[in-house]
Amino acid sequence: MSIKKLADMKVGEKGIVDSLEGHGNIQHRLVDMGVVEGSHIRVFKKAPLGDPIEVKVKGCALALRKNEAAMISVVVEGGQR
């Protein structure tokens, strides 16, 4: 297992949220969407240029901008499926 930024993960990779580095409104927005430490998260799709990134967390699909995803550290559990 390794720690990666969510923005650097590949489609199909999954893991557990380790930490959030955002501050203020961005951090509150991520927490409100369920992106909190210990949550399981999986990358489903990426746009051709990598922005936005579609992830699934707590049973909900979310679209995050690359700069938002770069604030989230994830302990990667497994590879692509």
Query: Where are the domains positioned within the chain?
Result: 2-78
- Please count the CA atoms within 13 angstroms of the CA of 70 that sit on its side-chain side: 6
Contact 29, 14 (CB under 8 A): no
pLDDT of residue 27: 86
pLDDT of residue 78: 59
pLDDT of residue 81: 44
pLDDT in single tens digits along all 81 residues of the chain: 799 999 999 999 999 999 998 778 888 888 888 899 999 999 999 998 878 999 999 889 999 999 899 999 999 985 544
Could you please state the CATH topology (level 3) that the domain comprising 2-78 is classified under.
SH3 type barrels. (2.30.30)
Q: Radius of gyration of the chain from Cα atoms?
A: 11
